[in-house]
Structure 1
Amino acid sequence: MTGDDQAWVPEACTLPTVERPLRQAEFDQLFATALRGQQRLSPTELRWRLDQAAEATARDLTARETSCCSFFSFTFAPDGDAVRVDVRVPAARVDVLNALADRAAAGMAA
């Protein structure tokens, strides 16, 4: 794993370093298999549209992510035949959101 792979993991993250590649792989799997769309709503907010079948996995993953990176806010809502997830960060963490959005876009394209 290169430093670029860890670009979206901020210093404030309390997840042990050894577990970070596993968490990253979980997000990569979610993006590759369930992400149907991504929209940037503002510099501090983006929206994902996920396959409904992945909702439980996404809820579990985002809850665990919030427990180690408490600045993230993930809000779920039904969206037709999908699930909408709004991801928010404070202005000081826009760089983390940018990196996460890039990773999601790359995973969706894979």
Structure 2
Amino acid sequence: MSFEMPDACTLPTAERPLRLAEFDELFATAVRRVEPVTAEHVRMWLTGPAGLAETVRDLTARETQCCSFFSFTITPGAAGNGEALWLDVVVPAQYTDVLGSLAQRAATPALP
């Protein structure tokens, strides 16, 4: 599945496949549910081992540095073992296609 990076993304072109692979790994291992809220807002339920929240915080912070149009909010959730959290992703209206592509990747991740 392809993913078009918008011109507003300042991540160097050579680094983009690596960042996308990081998201794909997160999606394949931790995303359990993807819920579109609006065209500009998607909510994801993630579960995983201890350290999941820190991994998500690190990845989303780095993504926000190069793609400032993304707004990520992490809310802890209840899990039996390990960690669980909600990840809300919000974009301005002109980036709904990017968010839609990201949500589709999260809902149908490619396993390594």
Q: TM-score, normalised by structure 1?
A: 0.89
Partner of 2:2: 5
Alignment partner of 1:56 out of 50, 54, 57: 54
Within 5 Å, give how 1:24-103 maps onto structure 2: 24-53=20-49, 54-81=52-79, 82-103=84-105
Which runs of 5 or more structure 1 residues have no equivalent in the other structure?
Answer: none
| Number of residue equivalences | 105
Letter of the structure 1 residue corresponding to residue 106 of structure 2: A
Post-superposition offset of 1:5: 2.1
Percent of residue pairs identical: 54
Task: Give the 4+ runs in structure 1 shifted more than 3 A.
Answer: none
Which runs of 5 or more structure 2 residues have no equivalent in the other structure?
Answer: none
Letter of the structure 2 residue corresponding to residue 39 of structure 1: E
* Contact 2:40 2:96 survives alignment (8 Å): yes
Letter of the structure 1 residue corresponding to residue 60 of structure 2: T
Q: TM-score, normalised by structure 2?
A: 0.88
Q: Which is helix-richer, 1 or 2?
A: 1
